[in-house]
Amino acid sequence: MMSDQELYILSYYRACELSGSILFGKLAFHTTIGEYRIPLTEHCLEEAEHAWRWTKVIKDLGRIPVKVTETYQTEYGKLFGMPENTLEIFCLTQVFEKRTLNQFTKHLNLPDTNPLVKEALQKMIDDETGHIGWIREELDKYARENGQGKLDAIMQKLEKMDEEVYDKLSNTEPFKTYFKDLL
């Protein structure tokens, strides 16, 4: 049986994946750019699969996911507001996926993690690498057309914001205690 601490952390991951899936589903639904329709739908599917994967891990370890209302993306929203265009969404996603990759790698390095959790982390690390890939290509295209400087400026601003959000999360329980040996 997993601890309440671990249950909350995995439920938090689940909520963030679900929130990502809902966002990409909406984008796939509304986009007027034909060439985005396929990758956005696939991205929506994979985030939904991730949400299900965490749900299943929690279930298989004998618990029920807890309700998490404030996700990582909620914190972005507070600092950044609503993204106004595709570029901002792609940049935010890029920063978020990098953070996710970082966090899952960190989690994988914790001693005594259940093999089911480890397996899920590894699978998601592989998928998130793909997500970063397709968005990277779109951002590179943007930079070629509009100048690298403009893109770098947005990314720098968002990375700073992400540091702030991550700092806050790392200092909040149960994250603070659970990951203390790695900080």
Interface residues toward Fe ion, by CB under 5 A: 17, 47, 50, 97, 128, 131
CB of 43 to Fe ion, least distance (A): 7
| Nearest CB to Fe ion, comparing residues 23 and 151 | 23
CB of 124 to Fe ion, least distance (A): 6
CB of 97 to Fe ion, least distance (A): 5
CB of 37 to Fe ion, least distance (A): 18
| Nearest CB to Fe ion, comparing residues 21 and 175 | 21
| Nearest CB to Fe ion, comparing residues 6 and 97 | 97
Q: Is the peptide bond before 174 cis (omega within 30 degrees of 0)?
A: yes
Distance in angstroms (rounded) separating the CA atoms of residues 74 and 81: 10
CB of 20 to Fe ion, least distance (A): 6
Write the burial class of residue 114 (CB in 10 Å: 0-12 exposed, 13-18 middle, 19+ buried): middle
CB atoms within 10 A of CB 176: 12
Question: What are the CA-CA distances from residue 97 to residues 9, 51, 91, 100, 131 (Å)?
Answer: 17, 15, 10, 5, 7
If phi > 0 it is left, if psi is from -120 to 50 it is alpha, else beta; for residue 18 that is alpha
- Assigned token pair, 163: 């540091």
- The gap from C-alpha 34 to its chain's centroid, in whole angstroms, comes to 25
| Nearest CB to Fe ion, comparing residues 6 and 128 | 128
